Amino acid sequence: MAVSLIVALLKLASAWNSFEQASLDACPCARPSLCLPLLTTATFEVFAFSPSKGDNWKYYDYTTLTTIAWNMDKGLLCHAHERGVKIVTLHNFDAADQLCNMTARQEWITQTYRDIVRNYADGVNIDTESAVTTREEAQCLTLLVQELREELQRNAFTRHAQVSRAVITFDVAWSPGGVDQRYYDYAGLAKATDYLFVMAVFCMLFAHYDMRSQLYDHCLAGANSPIAQIKRGIDDYIIGANVPPHQLILGLPWYAYEYPCAHYDSATDLCSITKQALQVPFRGAPCSDAAGVQRDYRDAVGSMTTRRWDNMTATPYFQRTVMRGGASVTVQTWYDDPESLGRKFALAGTLGGVGMWHVDSLDYSGKDAPTNETLAMWTTLKRAVPSSAIVALD
């Protein structure tokens, strides 16, 4: 450990409050310094969501990742910090009707701070996806994040974490244009956070191809992350919502969606979800991706028949016949693989980073000898990252 870092830690030790000190005294890592927020910064974030239990984290590519979100396994914490990778907790504020309640905000802020400290985390990822349909609520959402920043700066442990950035990340839809009725103050949120994580997934909006949380025209199976829509969403944030590009992280899908076809047209390859029982409305839209089933990448690849390619969306898909309820049903599966992801990650060249939902979707059964499919996905991610992505601070 560099001498300057040791000196900095000694100075901080005298500043811990009693809650922070008690948490640090219970550090589960072999070296107490591994329970402190990292003093590293990334010029380009590689952000992975790890929502699953188990030990998949042992086999992630830590030479590529900069931040892992949501997984509070203490073994992962020690392992990641030893390799210079940040850990961020999850804490949402989902009661939109309480956003302008100062007491509710303060309670949430206090709990967020305590979650960071008790988990020895480097920050928090806010995945609030609530509908916000009034200007007042949007302003109060921004105020919530501003007040959180102030609270984190007031306390030694979380003030220490400010060095590394990615302390506060906020997940947003593929476009700022009111997707899922999320009429947020995106410029204000960008100023209050370190990054906005753009979920360029579930991206169906009009007709056949667009992003898929809301479908307003024909209810058809389609790409999770169409390339033209990704570019449009990025432009909407930068040009329309005045978010600096270096504060955007482009998140792409490492999963598949499988749709049951009420009618399959072999001439056009269109899978129509037209029966009322198969349509799932969402926030005013008559149909949504909930008509399908999300499947892990490893499972989709394992059941793949003939791989097909959609040029318009730069996305692979396949269909197969399965037995359900004693009847033969055609299902169509859309997913992203190294070819499609390579094209889409290329759109992030001027942004602050890339990421995926989610890292546990791959096959880690090979452990330290990854399967070809898993290795190819990690290689594609690595190629999206500039060589000077991580700069250590002594």
Q: Give 213's DSSP letter.
A: T
Mean pLDDT over 206-219 rounds to 45
Sheet harboring 315-324: ordered strands across?
293-296, 255-260, 327-335, 315-324, 308-310
Q: Give 38's DSSP letter.
A: P
* Distance of alpha carbon 328 from alpha carbon 62, whole angstroms: 44
Task: Please identify every residue annotated as catalytic.
Answer: 129
Whether the CB-CB separation of 72 and 89 falls below 8 Å is answered with yes
Give me the pLDDT at residue 41, please.
Answer: 82
pLDDT band at 185 (very low <50, low <70, confident <90, very high): very high
Q: Is the pLDDT of residue 285 over 70?
A: no
Whether the CB-CB separation of 253 and 355 falls below 8 Å is answered with no
Looking at residue 269, its amino acid is D
**CA proximity to 86, closest of 117, 113, 121:** 121
Mean pLDDT over 168-175 rounds to 97
Mean pLDDT over 300-317 rounds to 96
Angle, CA of 343, 348 and 351, to the nearest 5°: 180
Whether the CB-CB separation of 108 and 99 falls below 8 Å is answered with no
User: Domain spans of the chain?
Assistant: 3-203+225-254+336-392
The verdict on domain 3-203+225-254+336-392 having CATH code 3.40.190.10 is no
What tokens appear for 90 in the block? Answer: 């999850």
Max CA pair span of the chain:
72
| 160 or 212, higher pLDDT | 160
Strand (E) or helix (H) holding 42 = strand 40-42
pLDDT band at 279 (very low <50, low <70, confident <90, very high): very low
Give me the pLDDT at residue 206, please.
Answer: 33
* Distance of alpha carbon 380 from alpha carbon 207, whole angstroms: 30
Looking at residue 179, its amino acid is V
Mean pLDDT over 20-49 rounds to 96
* Distance of alpha carbon 371 from alpha carbon 337, whole angstroms: 14
Mean pLDDT over 81-87 rounds to 98
pLDDT band at 208 (very low <50, low <70, confident <90, very high): very low
What tokens appear for 332 in the block? Answer: 């169509």
Collect all residues with Cβ–Cβ distance below 8 Å to 20 and sequence separation of at least 6.
117, 155, 156, 157
* Residues present in the chain in total: 394
* Distance of alpha carbon 224 from alpha carbon 209, whole angstroms: 9
Distance separating the N- and C-terminal Cα atoms of the chain? 8
230-267 pLDDT, tens per residue? 999 999 999 999 999 999 999 999 999 999 998 999 99
Give me the pLDDT at residue 4, please.
Answer: 52
**CA proximity to 199, closest of 265, 297, 128, 143:** 128
DSSP 3-state of 258: strand
Q: What are phi and psi of 191, to 5 degrees?
A: -70, -30
Mean pLDDT (the chain, rounded): 89
Radius of gyration, alpha carbons of the chain: 22
* Distance of alpha carbon 264 from alpha carbon 4, whole angstroms: 65
Whether the CB-CB separation of 51 and 30 falls below 8 Å is answered with no
Whether the CB-CB separation of 174 and 229 falls below 8 Å is answered with yes
pLDDT band at 11 (very low <50, low <70, confident <90, very high): low
pTM over 0.75? The answer is: yes
Q: Are strands 293-296 and 255-260 parallel, antiparallel or unpaired?
A: antiparallel
pLDDT band at 164 (very low <50, low <70, confident <90, very high): confident
Collect all residues with Cβ–Cβ distance below 8 Å to 302 and sequence separation of at least 6.
none
